[in-house]
Structure 1
Amino acid sequence: MSEPIGNDVAQSPLDILEKGVVSTSSGTKGLSAEFGEVKDLKQGLHQRHVQMIALAGTLGTGLFLSSGQSIAHGGPLGALLGYSIIGTAAISVVLAGAEMSALVPLNGGIIRFAEHFVDPALCFAIGWNEVYAHIVSVPSELSALAVLVKFWTDVNSAVWITVFGALMLATTLVFIRIYGELEYGFSILKIALVIGVNLMELRTSRSPLARPDLHEHPSLLRPRGYFGRFSFSTARLPSRLLITVFFVGLIVPSDDSDLLLGSGNASESPFVIAAKRAGIPAIPSIVNAVVLTSAWSAGNSSLLWGSRILYAMALEGRAPQLFTRINRFGIPYLSVLFYGMFMALGYMSLSSTAETVFSWLKTLVSISTLVNWMVITITYLRFYYGCRKQGIDRRRLPWTAPFQPYMSWWSIGLFVILLLTGGFSTFIHGHWDNQTFVSTYLNIPLFFILYFGYKLIRQSKVISLEKIPIEHFLTIAEEEEKEPESEGSKWKWWTFLWK
């Protein structure tokens, strides 16, 4: 079996790069010594855990449920284009993060990069933006879980919010290995479901042309029907998921009323609708069960990552020191319990429809994620132009991203447009909605308050391109011997999935 590779695990390839878990640079030891990388947290995740979770991390409730809304509002073509365009921008973020992580594999990922390549104030702002995102994400997933269970039973949602909240806390407060095994199993289930559904769709698809055309469905041509779908696809989406979106668009008519049920469970999933049309009665319960494990997995990951980010910020003096306390399992337990307090937000779903609460919590998470992507892109551009300003040949870097800086400029331009127009429907006469406006734009002033507040108090300054320590990091990397990667023989047969 392979050796544990780090303190945490990511829910997607982007998460792995952001948190600096995967180290591809030869300068890991040198950087660890110089920057005092902490080794207090328990290491228990193995390569098979990380690889499987990274592979299936993109398969979440957004794909299984929200893709139905995308098809309903934007049509099959609009949904496919929306996912494709956002996918190109997401890939750019991943590649930019990979290039920086390969050279500077520090714990904290983008939070640490922002400190060294841009401004300590940006490090503070994006760090608390991540904390805020995970605070909102955990109750969001609990609300989703409560709705998903209602597919089978009418037991009060408060029961399920309490049960799953307790399970999340329990798995996060004990050995990290337990989390890894749970995520490993959840990942296998999600991959099996997507493969099975795609095969079913291939078997049941009769005519790709039997779709509503533009004349019958003019919503395909309206901005709200096409551009508005982007908000649903601001998830971590690799190109392989486009195949699934394409197949679903072929066999589920965009005017199917079940796509907009608003139930929040498998009833509105395009996968379930496709199964019903194929006459397979067992599929709805199977899909709902896998979506439930997906929401549980997302909640576990938010609780884990959020607590580690808060712990790292506390170590650097950017959060209260009490969050650095570690229990006997090597877990920052006070950081975990801090997030546990905000699980109570999930009970808000009891005072209104759970779908409504889940919707605005999901919007808050999406916007904070969008801000995080923008910071990654801005940080990378500073890194890129720092190399150019200092006359550093990028061929010296351990790994370089293709099509740069053009891809990053494209991404940040798209992100700015999405951030500013995310709630555009509220500005249409007669369509004002307080909930949409607040959930869409709250994060913008909050981020600037954090950034400029830190600058005012700590008097931090933007690091000039000439003073970015790129040459210093290169020297460390070039002086270290490259360590061979160890591969466990026990799980080699799985590697066909990602190699």
Structure 2
Amino acid sequence: MEGKPAYDASSYDEPTFTMSGDLGAKKSEPMTTSDVEKQTAPVKDQLQRKLRSRHLQFVAIGGTVGTGVFIASGTSIATAGPVGALLAYVFIGSLVYSVMLSLCEMSTFLPISGAFTRYAARFVDPSLAFSMGYIYFISWSVTYALELTAAGIIIQWWNSTLSIGIFITIFWVPITLVNYLPVDLFGEFEFWFASIKVVALVGFMIFGICINAGAGDQGYIGFKYWENPGAFAPYLTDGPKAKFVGFWAVLIQAGFAFQGTELCAIGAGESANPRKTMPKAIRKTFWSIFLLFVFTIFFIGILVPYDNPKMITGETNASSSPLVIAAELAGVQVLPHILNAVLLTVVLSAASSNVYSGSRILVGLAEERCAPRWITKTSKRGVPYIAVSITAAFGLLAYMNLSSNGGEVFNWLLNIVGVAGFIAWSCTCVCHLRFRDALDAQNISCDTLPFRSWGGRYLAWYGLIFCTIITFTQGFTAFVPWVTEDFFIAYVSLILFAVLYIGHKLITRSKFVTSSEADLVTGRFYEEVTEVWEDSPRSWWMRALRFLF
């Protein structure tokens, strides 16, 4: 991810702004340590800037790297074949890259809580912010319930007689309590918890190299599975077009896996030094997730044939994980138990990140008057405890899986999650385009931006066009043949988004924001706060982690 500050912020000679966005006195001399302490002092009902780059990065990794890559990647390869799935993940990664550059440009200029939902209200339309914000909030809140359910299923792999409800309760309590910690302590927790899944995937890649070279029972493998059964899997039809259909069907699955990469921008309002922290966090987050996903898909594709029946069982435990299948084919028997334990940490890390993300989106909605103002109340340590409580309460929806009828309702709710990511990415690109229009209309040069997207408008248009196309075409299987229920399952989130937008527009009569009137002032943050702890790692393991990420 390219881009660098166009000037030294410490010498920026313009009116300064406090963290609440109030216009301050003109800066006449460099800020001292006491000045920084005054600027960053806790304020009632306000989030505190304590998250560092590594915290933001691993909050996003925690919410993104989950069952999508550890388990659902097997379904992707079974649908499109090893090369088809690999191309799909690379293509979706390029779309996410465009979205992340757009987010980085806006979040370094305006590092505010709620991120892209509030940018929609400032640059596009309050109704878009309302519908986009609530779709995204519901998405992560319901995902919290999904992760709690997955944790119970993972435990059942060891003892199937135990009820999932037991573990939903056991895990809901501590994960919720963790989110009541001050944000710097929560960031530290997520950093170490999410590191487990990163180490596990890196370890699998090393394992894959050894097995492919001949260390397993199969001997030297090379790329023989790309020849038989093949590099591409036929899907729904026959001939060359079957390969493209398989590739397109996997795009939505790859999108689900990448959803959450943008979470590092959610913490912009709580980052210690957004001008320095945000570009570093967004750049490292994208490349970490992209490389983890692409290399994992690559190694699975050369170790396991796409027609292996275990790849499409649909279970949420180690039995259907392509990583375990690869180990079983190589003759390694102990790995399933180890990987199932890793899967448990994977879903719990994702669950804590879900609560954090959902609560901050809700705070952003409240600050834009799309939710009651009292939701923004925080503790003395800057924790939005009301927003956290509301988001955590959605986790109790997991109990619906204990009854058959409730399970059907829960599955419908989960379908809102899938397409919500593509809707959010599309809207983010729209916000970036309107942000650039506002800069032009108010005679603010792009050269003065703390971070500038190298692709500018063209990259934003690229992300917008393809995210929109995928959003509208992801349910194409409902048309061949036509199945009414499948159609509504595929497009329920898009329908809900339209209902929220039109409903808000009719009730509030909100108007589109003109570029010349867009708010480019409130929330700007000029101060440079030195990150001593990060710049001076205390031990070899911290230096190693910084080298990797």
Sort the TM-score into its range (normalised by shorter chain): 0.7 to 0.9
Q: C-alpha displacement at 1:52, in angstroms?
A: 4.2
Describe the shift of the 1:354–1:256 C-alpha distance in structure 2 as closer, same or farther (beyond 3 A): farther
Q: Displacement of 1:254 after TM fit?
A: 0.1
Which one of the candidate residues 144, 153, 158 is aligned to 2:165? Answer: 158
Which of 290, 298, 304 aligns to 1:239? It is 290
Runs of 5+ in structure 1 lacking a partner?
A: 1-12, 14-22
Q: Does 1:445 align with 2:495?
A: yes
Query: Per-residue deviation at 1:328?
Result: 6.0
Superposed CA deviations along residues 153-211 of structure 1, whole A, max 9, x for unmatched, are 11111111121122222222344455334322222211211111001111111221333
Paired residues, what number? Answer: 472
Partner of 1:118: 124
| Cα distance per residue 1:229-259 (max 9 Å; x no partner) | 1111112474312122111111110000110
1:94 equivalent in structure 2? 100
Amino acid at match of 2:290: S
Deviation at 1:268, TM superposition (A): 1.0
Aligned to 1:210: 225
2:186 matched residue in structure 1: 179
Specify the alignment match of 2:483 in structure 1.
432
Distance in 2 (alpha carbons) for counterparts of 1:112 and 1:449: 20
TM-score normalised to structure 2 length: 0.77
* 2:183 paired with 1:168: no
Contact kept in structure 1, 2:417 and 2:493, CA below 8 Å? no
Q: Which moved more, 1:194-203 or 1:176-185?
A: 176-185
Alpha-carbon distance in structure 1 between the residues aligned to 2:16 and 2:343: 40
Contact 1:83 1:242 in 2 (8 A): yes
- What residue is the counterpart of 2:391 in the other structure? 339
2:201 corresponds to:
194
For residues 180 and 112 of structure 2, the distance between their equivalents in structure 1, rounded to whole angstroms, comes to 24
8 Å contact 2:81–2:232 — kept in the other structure?
A: no
**Deviation per residue, 1:437-458 (Å, 9 max, x gap):** 3332122232223223333333
Counterpart-to-counterpart distance in 1, 2:385 and 2:85:
41
Instruction: Using the TM superposition, give the Cα deviation of residue 309 of structure 1 relative to its aligned residue in structure 2, in angstroms.
Output: 2.4
Question: In the aligned structure 2, how far is the partner of 1:173 from the partner of 1:56?
Answer: 17
In the alignment, which of 354, 359, 383 is matched to residue 435 of structure 2? 383
- Identical residues among aligned pairs (%): 31
Answer yes or no: is the 8 Å Cα contact 2:229–2:305 preserved in 1. Answer: no
Q: Tell me by how many angstroms 1:323 deviates.
A: 2.4
1:53 deviates by 4.1
User: Counterpart in 2 of 1:486?
Assistant: 532
Q: Do the aligned residues in 1 keep the contact of 2:225 with 2:231 (CA within 8 Å)?
A: no
Shift of residue 134, structure 1, vs aligned partner: 2.1
378-387 vs 225-234, greater mean Cα deviation: 378-387
Give the superposed CA RMSD.
3.3
Q: Is the Cα contact below 8 Å between 2:64 and 2:350 reproduced in 1?
A: no
**Cα distance change, pair 498–361 in 1 and its aligned pair in 2 (3 A):** farther
Q: 1:420 aligns with which of 451, 455, 472?
A: 472
Q: TM-score, normalised by structure 1?
A: 0.84
Q: Is the 8 A contact 1:198 1:244 kept in 2?
A: yes
Given residue 34 of structure 1, which amino acid in structure 2 is its aligned partner? G
What is the DSSP-based 3-state SS (H/G/I as helix, E as strand, rest coil) of the residue aligned with 2:532?
coil
Aligned to 1:19: none
> Counterparts of 1:41 and 1:100 in 2: how far apart (Å)?
19
Q: Is the 8 A contact 1:55 1:498 kept in 2?
A: no
Q: Is the 8 A contact 1:25 1:105 kept in 2?
A: no
Spell out, residue by residue over 1:374-400, the C-alpha distance to the aligned partner (whole angstroms, 9 max, x if none): 110111111223444556442222221
Q: Which residue of 2 aligns with 1:462?
A: 512
Higher relative contact order (CA 8 A, sep 6+): 2
Contact preservation (8 Å) 1:275, 1:281: yes
Distance of 1:396 and 1:30 partners within structure 2:
16
Q: Is the 8 A contact 1:131 1:306 kept in 2?
A: yes
Moved more, 441-450 or 186-195: 441-450
Counterpart CA distance in 1 for 2:88 and 2:142 is 25
1:403-418 mapped onto 2 (5 Å cutoff)? 403-418=455-470
Deviation, 1:416, is 1.4
Distance 2:140 2:149 in 1: 14
The equivalent residue for 2:28 is none
1:186–1:293 CA contact under 8 A, matched in 2: yes
Deviations 1:60-118, CA, capped at 9 Å, x for gaps: 21111110000111110111011011110011000000011121122221122112211
**Between 88-97 and 186-195, the greater mean CA deviation after superposition:** 186-195
Contact 2:78 2:233 in 1 (8 A): no
**Per-residue deviation, 1:410:** 1.8
Instruction: Give 1:312-391 correspondences, 5 Å limit.
Output: 312-327=364-379, 330-352=382-404, 361-388=413-440
Instruction: Kindly indicate whether residue 246 of structure 2 is the aligned counterpart of residue 225 of structure 1.
Output: yes
CA gap 1:285/1:24 in 2 versus in 1, 3 angstroms? farther
1:16 is matched with none
Quick one: structure 1 residues 169 and 87, their matched pair in 2 at CA, closer, same or farther if it must change by over 3 Å?
Answer: same
Distance 2:497 2:22 in 1: 27
1:249–1:38 Cα change, 3 Å: farther
3-state SS of paired residue (1:239): helix
Tell me the amino acid that sits aligned with residue 403 of structure 1: G
Corresponding letter in the other structure for 2:164: S
**Segment drifting more, 441-450 vs 214-223:** 214-223
User: Which SS does the other structure have where 1:218 is aligned?
Assistant: coil
Rate the CA distance shift 1:245–1:115 in 2: closer, same or farther, 3 A: same
| Counterpart check, 1:63 vs 2:69 | yes
Q: In structure 2, how many angstroms separate the alpha carbons of the residues matched to 1:24 and 1:424?
A: 53
Contact 1:259 1:270 in 2 (8 A): yes
